[in-house]
Copies of this chain bind each other. A is one copy, B any other.
Amino acid sequence: MAGNSFGQLFRLTTFGESHGVALGGVIDGCPAGVELDLQMIQEELDRRKPGQSAIVTQRKEPDTVEFFSGVFEGKTTGTPIGFAIRNTNQKSKDYSHIKDSYRPSHADYVYDQKYGFRDYRGGGRSSARETASRVVAGAIAKQLLKDIKITAYVSQVGALKLDKNYNQLDFSVIESNPVRCADMEMASQMEEYIKSIKKEGDTIGGVVTCVIQNVPIGLGEPVFDKLHAKLGEAMLSINAVKGFEYGSGFDGVKMKGSEHNDAYNTDGTTKTNRSGGIQGGISNGMDIYFSVAFKPVATVLQAYDTINKEGEKVTTQGKGRHDPCVVPRAVPIVEAMAALVLADYTLLARSNKI
């Protein structure tokens, strides 16, 4: 398949280039009867949009979503929900310098090789602007999920790492600082660091951690479609992501089995949660938590050497309005993708037993 759909029963298909007419999507399979708070959907979009603080890109994109179908008298009807977000701030001229040359560590070169040519304006389909459609769908998925609570936050920027477990943190502070870190002291350190990186015209990577609470037991399908495998695929499909780990993750490899195993309480919960809420690919009712690694944004506002279509060396000056660090705006995207996975597996789980 062409790869622009996600999910089996709760299925999102997206379309749109960063500088085309519009981007948007279709959600197929949302059950009938979900009362939709359209204002909440727009608020989720606003968490992702450019220009919201001094440490993100200063582009001005209102990102207003228009719904075409699937909602009637405030509720979902069970039919597909079509929607679009118009591109209003296209400034195609900004991108004329990349029409004929390939930006390092961008998808320009591979698109030309794969398709024969590309829509070079602003990265076209490979732009992270596509994720706005995911946030819309994720907001609807969250409203379907109701009691399941999905919370993401920035846990690392460059070498600045928040060395606290998620249950030692105060989630209420996340939206009160522009970094979306769950610790105010670390947040201000990260903010200062991102500002200094921005001043250099450079960029820096980071990590987003996500916690999913109140998950019923039994979500996840055995073997290939394990719940964490689909969460991992979902996160790795976000632009700039280089790694995914859940539960004890990469650190868990250093532990012995006798240390790592989660002993049971008599109610089926576990005393520790190194499993990260998933056993054998199936949710066990404990909190699910995972981390997602984002590389530094490839667009730096510095001069750099590269090649053009003819394979000749060229020197280019990076310009435009870009994020010095992608993770603050990635927080709602991580949550949206998690919501899509959980919504899909919630519907899938309905067919387990007779």
Q: Given A228-B236, A237-B223, A242-B249, A105–B279 Cβ distance below 8 Å?
A: yes
Bitwise, A257-294 to B at CB < 8 A (1) or not (0) is 11111111111101000111001111110000000011
Q: Contact at B224–A237, with CB atoms within 8 Å?
A: yes
Q: Kindly state whether residue A350 has any CB partner on chain B within 8 Å.
A: yes
Stretch of A3-11, A39-47, A55-63 lying at the B interface: A3-11
Bitwise, A220-236 to B at CB < 8 A (1) or not (0) is 11111110111011101
User: CB-CB < 8 A to A116: which residues of B?
Assistant: 32-33, 353
Closest B residue by C-beta to A263: B104
Closest B residue by C-beta to A86: B68
What is the size category of the interface that chain A forms with chain B? 35 or more
Q: Please provide the chain A residues from 8 to 25 with a CB less than 8 Å away from any CB of chain B in the complex.
A: 8-9, 11, 13-17, 20-25
Q: Contact at A224–B352, with CB atoms within 8 Å?
A: no
User: CB-CB < 8 A to A229: which residues of B?
Assistant: 233-234, 236-237
Q: Contact at A6–B224, with CB atoms within 8 Å?
A: yes
Measured CA separation A234–B117 after assembly (Å): 30
Q: Kindly state whether residue A299 has any CB partner on chain B within 8 Å.
A: yes
The residue that A253 contacts in the complex, of B22, B78, B294, with Cβ under 8 A, is B294
Q: Given A109-B284, A203-B256, A349-B114, A25–B26 Cβ distance below 8 Å?
A: yes
The residue that A351 contacts in the complex, of B29, B81, B253, B305, with Cβ under 8 A, is B29
How far apart are A17's CB and chain B's nearest CB, in angstroms? 5
The residue that A16 contacts in the complex, of B6, B82, B156, with Cβ under 8 A, is B82
Q: Contact at A15–B26, with CB atoms within 8 Å?
A: yes
Bitwise, A138-155 to B at CB < 8 A (1) or not (0) is 000000100000000000
User: CB-CB < 8 A to A22: which residues of B?
Assistant: 68-69, 82
Q: List 12 A-B contacts (CB under 8 A).
A: A4-B224, A5-B13, A22-B68, A32-B115, A72-B124, A79-B222, A106-B280, A110-B217, A204-B253, A206-B253, A255-B296, A256-B296
